[in-house]
A = this chain, B = another copy of it.
Amino acid sequence: MPEPLHIAFLLFPDVTQLDLTGPAQVLSRMGNVTLDLVAKTRDPVRTDALFDLHPTATFAEVPRADILCVPGGFGTVAAMEDADTLDWLRQVAAEATWVTSVCTGSLLLGAAGLLRGYRSACHWGSREQLAWFGAEPVAERVVFDRNRVSGGGVTAGIDFALALTAAIRGEDHARFVQLSLEYDPAPPFDSGSPERAGAETVARYRAMAEKFAPGRAETVKGIAERLGF
């Protein structure tokens, strides 16, 4: 039996649920794993995908974990403004073996002061904002820096989780998990990065982001200043 591992995923309103459910699928196959979806309360949490996820525990119930994993999404900014959320992240990160994020979850780790001097990935649309929290933005799909491990936008969480599985359980096990999930991706289009998608699709994304979260970059900058970065 491999070493037991407890994984704590942060859950907050308007999370991009695939940032969490992708890695959870992969990491749950590491063997001898327990997993919590942790939120302020046990109330159902609205995701960006038109259904709720239900916390399995509250902040108070999960003071530590072997792996801390923070997803992102449009709700990230509100979560960054919540002192209880940042306090919990600091508490769990202090003793965790791995402190990880997917997508704009890295901004949350940043706001908690957990990425000062660390290299980190982020969703391409918000990546440069990491610098406001003293982190070094990296345009890669998976980034390891000491015990900080991060994935890029949303679907990068699957690549991230396979890489983390390999780091913890070895490459052979990661290859087994990859086969079990038939992860042999064949995107029908070549539009997964701003470089490949073309100017028109990028402009459309920026317009959607501005519509759903007006002035988001300015808000994040203000948060960084208020938090003393």
Chain A residues within 8 Å of B, Cβ to Cβ? 16-18, 21-22, 24-25, 28, 33-35, 37, 44, 48-54, 56, 103, 123-124, 141-142, 152-156, 158-159, 162-163, 166, 171-172, 174-176, 178-189, 191-194, 196-197, 201-202, 204-205, 208
Contacts and interface: CB of A to CB of B under 8 A. Distances in A.
B22 A51 contact: no
Contact of A35 (B51, B175, B201, B204): B51
Contacts of A194: 179
Query: What copy number does this chain have within its complex?
Result: 2
B162 A179 contact: no
Given A17-B24, A56-B51, A179-B193, A188 B159 contact: yes
B158 A179 contact: no
13 contacts: A18-B181, A103-B182, A141-B186, A152-B182, A153-B181, A155-B181, A155-B183, A175-B189, A180-B205, A182-B192, A183-B187, A183-B191, A184-B193
A78 to B, nearest CB: 19
A192 B178 contact: yes
A90 to B, nearest CB: 24
A24 B49 contact: yes
Given A18-B21, A175-B201, A189-B171, A184 B141 contact: yes
A192 B184 contact: yes
Given A22-B18, A34-B50, A54-B52, A154 B181 contact: yes
A188 B163 contact: yes
Nearest to A121: B182
